[in-house]
Homo-oligomer: A and B are copies of this chain.
Amino acid sequence: MTNWLPVWLREYQRSKLPGDLVAGLIVTAMLVPQSLAYAMLAGMPPETGLYASMLPLLAYALFGSSMTLAVGPVAVISLMTATALTGLAAPGSPEYVALAGQLALISGVLLIVFGLLRLGFMASLLSHPVIAGFISGSAVLITIGQAKHLLGVAAPGNGAIDILMHVIGALPGLNPTTTAIGLAALAFLLLARRYAASLLGRVLTPRAADLGARLAPMLAIILSAAIVHLFRLDQHAGVAVVGRVPLGLPAPVLPLPDASSLGALWAPALLIALVGFVESYSVGRSLAARRGERIRANQELAGLGAGNLASAISGGFPVTGGFARSVVNFAAGANTPLAGIISALLMALVVLGLTGLFRPLPQAVLAATIIAAVLPLVDIGTMRRAWRYDRADAWSWIATASGVLALGVEQGILIGVALSIGMLIWRTSHPHMALVGRVPGTEHFRNVERHDVETLPGLIAVRVDESLFFGNIEAVETRIRQLIAANPGTRRLVLICSAVNHIDATALEELTALEQELSKRGIELALAEVKGPVMDRLEPTELGARLKGRVYLSTHAAVAARAA
């Protein structure tokens, strides 16, 4: 009867409830200000942030695989949503909201399809430095973009420099009250992050103090809303506020894109799906590892896909698993996705009864919340460490981060993807190979560059340390040709396949051509140490037939056969 329920729910033990309850409560306290703030960042009406923090959490709880991931609106995905919809509709308009729903729907469908196609391994597409560079660049871009709300100025623009110039140009017209409130809130949030835990630690346990410090944003919005309401600062001092937020649950919608919006949205939806999955999966994986749990990439795709569909049909926008809230969820003791379900129910209570409280909330404080949340994501440390350890990795951090800043968030991630793929191809197209010789008096063969070994005239024995496939076969061939050119009297070439676990069609074709060419030039190609499964496939091919009698179990046998 309950087989369709996820394992965690079927096997739920009451002992897990306190942890889930506390975590659900604390995450909700973070989620309220963040969902309003990220809706603003996405260019959406504030209530849609609340909507995106209900059903998606339920959907992920049913279909995801992480026990501690907190799904909902996150900064980078909200920024990507705003970028995708720029120029298609006016931010906050009904058309804009409909398009955001379509974006979530397309992303969700893509994620589910990828899950069904078992493409979870695509998470390995991006290297850590690329991800860190992307997140860092995005965090700076978001901060610059929020400066206008913080200062109460109008500053349109594209790209970091452009927005910054507009903000600076608009500075003379800043709203002093808004600026004061915004900077005070930012200072409060940054100081709270730095000192609240240790201050609270004097009266609370370290863990409680740590979690208590996470309530600072909630406190900031309550205080600032109260102040604005009390002194009517929105009317008397022109402080921009959130305004009326509709009460009640969202009406279900089905935001099906038409052909033209599908054409405009599929590419950004794909990028949002990719970034959302990679970010969420890496957070989920590192949290799961700390407890010896496991998360499955393909099920994560399904879980996040379900979350985005749920967001789409409940009037929300694209969501994913966020870093900060997931870490808090984990630290607060979440044992199962029930914590997320509790958050969703609490958010529903907020939507049903408390939205009136957000009316006087200053947008500047939401901007401060966003900035305080994204500033710690600027991860120069990864770049520094990479700079010392592996220059190519450091450059990929720099290129991705500068790409985001100079060209925008979509171009930035495309640069990161291109760099990662480029590095992948570069690496595979430079396979490790070793010219080997015999360790005197033994049957062992070792790299001639590292060991004192003997070689036979007219014989080249070369070991390839990787499987042969389209990505590296050309390099292997080139190296073999160079070795033959450097040893003019060569009569036999032994290819040692001890590390070859697969030969693909491209490599087979090239090896066949190489064998024919060498054979014409009077050089015999022989294979040694071919693994069983590789040999089984090779045997019925043309190359297998031509090589008959020249495939040896050991390198020693291949070399001895020559000497005979």
Contacts known (A508-B389, A521-B292); A429 close to B541, Cβ less than 8 A: no
Contacts of A532 in B (CB 8 A): 450
Contacts of A119 in B (CB 8 A): 422
**Beta-carbon contact of B121 and A389 below 8 Å:** no
Q: Within 8 Å of chain B (Cβ to Cβ): is A336?
A: no
Q: Which residue of B lies closest to A521 (CB)?
A: B292
Query: Closest approach, in angstroms, between the C-beta of A519 and any C-beta of chain B?
Result: 13
Query: Closest approach, in angstroms, between the C-beta of A124 and any C-beta of chain B?
Result: 4
Contacts of A499 in B (CB 8 A): 432, 465, 499
Q: Say whether chain A's binding surface is mostly helix, strand, loop, or mixed.
A: helix
**Beta-carbon contact of B432 and A505 below 8 Å:** no
**Beta-carbon contact of A481 and B393 below 8 Å:** no
Query: Closest approach, in angstroms, between the C-beta of A422 and any C-beta of chain B?
Result: 8
Contacts known (A123-B474, A128-B470); A385 close to B505, Cβ less than 8 A: yes
Query: Closest approach, in angstroms, between the C-beta of A541 and any C-beta of chain B?
Result: 6
Query: Closest approach, in angstroms, between the C-beta of A158 and any C-beta of chain B?
Result: 15
Please encode chain A, from 197 to 222, with 1 for each CB lying within 8 Å of some chain B CB and 0 for all others.
Answer: 00000000000000000000000000
**Beta-carbon contact of A128 and B513 below 8 Å:** no
Q: Which residue of B lies closest to A396 (CB)?
A: B505
Complex CA–CA separation, A385 to B505 (angstroms): 8
Contact residues, A90-147 vs B (CB, 8 A): 119, 121-129
Q: Within 8 Å of chain B (Cβ to Cβ): is A194?
A: no
Q: Identify A290's interface contact among B465, B485, B505, B517, CB under 8 A.
A: B517
Beyond the given pairs A394-B505, A424-B425, 10 more chain A to chain B contacts, judged by CB atoms under 8 angstroms and listed by A's residue number, are: A121-B425, A123-B474, A126-B470, A292-B481, A294-B481, A388-B540, A390-B505, A420-B470, A427-B502, A432-B499
Contacts of A467 in B (CB 8 A): 427, 432
Query: Closest approach, in angstroms, between the C-beta of A229 and any C-beta of chain B?
Result: 47
Contacts of A420 in B (CB 8 A): 470
**Beta-carbon contact of B501 and A465 below 8 Å:** yes
Query: Closest approach, in angstroms, between the C-beta of A29 and any C-beta of chain B?
Result: 29
Q: Within 8 Å of chain B (Cβ to Cβ): is A355?
A: no
- 11 A-B pairs, CB-CB below 8 angstroms? A121-B426, A124-B429, A124-B474, A128-B470, A128-B506, A128-B510, A129-B506, A289-B517, A290-B517, A390-B504, A465-B501
Contact residues, A485-507 vs B (CB, 8 A): 485, 499, 501-502, 504-506
**Beta-carbon contact of A127 and B470 below 8 Å:** yes
Q: Identify A122's interface contact among B124, B393, B425, B510, CB under 8 A.
A: B425
Contact residues, A232-276 vs B (CB, 8 A): none
**Beta-carbon contact of A537 and B389 below 8 Å:** yes
Q: Within 8 Å of chain B (Cβ to Cβ): is A469?
A: yes
Query: Closest approach, in angstroms, between the C-beta of A501 and any C-beta of chain B?
Result: 4
**Beta-carbon contact of A513 and B390 below 8 Å:** no
Q: Identify A421's interface contact among B393, B421, B466, CB under 8 A.
A: B421
Contacts of A514 in B (CB 8 A): 289
Q: Within 8 Å of chain B (Cβ to Cβ): is A286?
A: yes
Complex CA–CA separation, A386 to B127 (angstroms): 32
Interface size on A, residues (CB 8 A): 67
Q: Which residue of B lies closest to A505 (CB)?
A: B393
Complex CA–CA separation, A392 to B466 (angstroms): 19
Q: Within 8 Å of chain B (Cβ to Cβ): is A324?
A: no
Ranked nearest first, the 8 interchain pairs of A and B with the lowest CB-CB distance are: A127-B470, A393-B505, A128-B506, A121-B429, A124-B429, A432-B501, A386-B505, A127-B506
Complex CA–CA separation, A126 to B504 (angstroms): 13
Query: Closest approach, in angstroms, between the C-beta of A468 and any C-beta of chain B?
Result: 11
Contacts of A504 in B (CB 8 A): 127, 390, 392-393
**Beta-carbon contact of B385 and A424 below 8 Å:** no
Complex CA–CA separation, A124 to B392 (angstroms): 20
**Beta-carbon contact of B513 and A425 below 8 Å:** no
Query: Closest approach, in angstroms, between the C-beta of A312 and any C-beta of chain B?
Result: 25
Contacts of A521 in B (CB 8 A): 292
Q: Identify A466's interface contact among B289, B386, B390, B466, CB under 8 A.
A: B466
Contacts known (A289-B517, A513-B286); A124 close to B505, Cβ less than 8 A: no
Tell which of A430, A504, A517 has the most Cβ of chain B within 10 Å.
A504
Complex CA–CA separation, A89 to B424 (angstroms): 39
**Beta-carbon contact of A124 and B465 below 8 Å:** no
**Beta-carbon contact of A469 and B505 below 8 Å:** no
Contact residues, A470-491 vs B (CB, 8 A): 470-472, 474-475, 477-478, 481, 485
Q: Within 8 Å of chain B (Cβ to Cβ): is A509?
A: yes
Contacts of A471 in B (CB 8 A): 124, 424, 427
